[in-house]
Chains A and B, each alone.
Chain A
Amino acid sequence: MKIYIKSCFFAILLLSVFSCKKPTENIKLVVDTDILKYTAFIRVTDAANGTLPANAKITISGAAADNIYEISGKKNFNLVQGVVTIGLGPALTPTASNPVTCTATITANGYTTATRTITFTADKSQQIINIQVAKVGSTTPPIVVPDPPVYPTPVVLNFIGTCRNRSDFEIRPSVYIMFRETGSNQPYQYLGYMDKGVLNTTTLGQGKTYDFQTSFNGENLSVTQKIEQASYSLTLDMGNACSNF
């Protein structure tokens, strides 16, 4: 978003005659994405082995479905590597006496259809919904995915969303972040919720390199960083999400 000054009026009044820099030079317009205040991070895995079921699809139904959006504000719900974030539009806010519910239905070729009721309550802005789907006829008990290790040194990650064609524009994403150690070929694990671009975690080990990933508007956004200090400022290319603003 470029800022064009139409009039020299302000510049004259504000002493620009002796100064080279425009007051707005290199100023970026920063936009937050926390428009959906109540969100749910849905992750779908194969119950038998924790892998991603191929061609899995999600549909959202229920009385509140009209006010449920993907985190990008779109009504398209697509699982990207098994995950999608949904949330309540600003027109609907849960209260203590009136929580909001919807139903997520997962279908995938060769798998039994799974449904899950998701409840948005006033006291819980974020929630993780793990949905395990089983192959038709499978009797294998669902696996239990171990929690990632906890390290003594907390790490603060500041994510800045950028747009390739809009250098004077920045996004502070509020999204759920997945991570895995680079080169491990392990499935991504849930790291945490990034609130206005900031995530504080004890799940990252010093000296290790990690891939961080989130999905937004049906697209994977990722960045890699080696952790060697207590905080990092990471740039996240927002890709097609930039057209959302």
Chain B
Amino acid sequence: MYRKFVFLIPLLILLGAGHVAAQINNSGDLILHQQSVKLNLGSQGIGAEYAYGIDKKVALRLGINVIPVSVNDAFDIADFNSTSKVSAKFTNIHLLADYTPFKSAPAFRLVGGAAYFVRGRGSMQVQPKDNYTYGDIVLTPDQVGYLNLDVDWKGIAPYAGIGLFKVMPKRHFNVNVDLGTYYLKEPDVKIVGTGILKGNNTQEGQLKDNVKDYRWLPVFQLNFSYKL
């Protein structure tokens, strides 16, 4: 499924470029008071936006993006027959400003703004796959317990990037691209273990140190716009 999505991206870019070739010829168009709605698809998952031109060169976008993904058995732990589940759940509400600095190049935009990550959580869960022995004692998976590692970036994050292709469609539709990054807050971490894995909360400090620099959330996003 993920591979299919990756192959779709260049195809969508080509489709978008077709629209854009026509748009560039209308470089003198102003975006003041123009409105559009957008469907987003990319590294931020899926989302929707409303855009409004507040100036000849500036439009504001208010939107929401959601990533709800999980992968089973993404990693193994040696000597521990286990199943694992990795998930990333990000939901942000963002307000971005698109600034078109060059009249001769309306397809190029500088984009800045911020988002509030209502949810910004990465989780790993490890559970024993079958019975585990302690000496001559056979322990059930429940007796062994499970291990959850959560990393939480919930909070406000500034955004900076560039936009390719015009923010507002000339006619009804267009496709444009966002390339940029959010700078998330330093994450909080939590490790919860049960059973004989209960003591793993002692590793929270190390995990926090490991992920403290995981703050750049890159954005590659296609925006399918409809002019209102």
Interface segment, B52-60, B160-168, B199-207?
B199-207
Pairwise interchain contact B75-A5, C-beta atoms closer than 8 A: yes
Pairwise interchain contact A19-B74, C-beta atoms closer than 8 A: no
Interface string of B78-92 (1 = CB under 8 A from A): 111000001010000
A-B interface, 8 closest residue pairs, ranked by CB to CB distance from nearest: A73-B135, A30-B199, A18-B216, A73-B134, A74-B135, A13-B88, A2-B78, A5-B75
Pairwise interchain contact A30-B137, C-beta atoms closer than 8 A: no
Contacts of B136 in A (CB 8 A): 69, 73-75
Q: Select which of B2, B77, B206 is within 8 A of A26 by beta carbon.
A: B206
Q: With A14-B122, A31-B197, A245-B134 given, name 5 new contacts (CB 8 A).
A: A4-B77, A6-B75, A10-B74, A27-B206, A30-B200
CB-CB nearest in chain B for A8: B74
Contacts of A6 in B (CB 8 A): 73-76
Task: Report the separation of the CA atoms of residues A27 and B76 in the bound assembly, to the nearest whole angstrom.
Answer: 14
Interface string of B130-160 (1 = CB under 8 A from A): 0001111101000100000101000000000
Chain A residues numbered 1-44 whose CB sits less than 8 Å from any CB in chain B: 1-7, 9-10, 13-35
Number of B interface residues at 8 Å Cβ cutoff, please give it: 45
Task: Report the separation of the CA atoms of residues A29 and B203 in the bound assembly, to the nearest whole angstrom.
Answer: 8
Q: Select which of A4, A13, A196 is within 8 A of B76 by beta carbon.
A: A4
Task: Report the separation of the CA atoms of residues A115 and B148 in the bound assembly, to the nearest whole angstrom.
Answer: 47
**A172 located at the interface, meaning its Cβ lies under 8 Å from any Cβ of chain B in the complex:** yes
Closest-CB distance, A15 to chain B (whole angstroms): 4
Contacts of A166 in B (CB 8 A): 79
Contacts of A27 in B (CB 8 A): 203, 206-207, 210
Pairwise interchain contact A30-B197, C-beta atoms closer than 8 A: yes
Q: Select which of B79, B122, B137 is within 8 A of A89 by beta carbon.
A: B137
Closest-CB distance, A93 to chain B (whole angstroms): 13
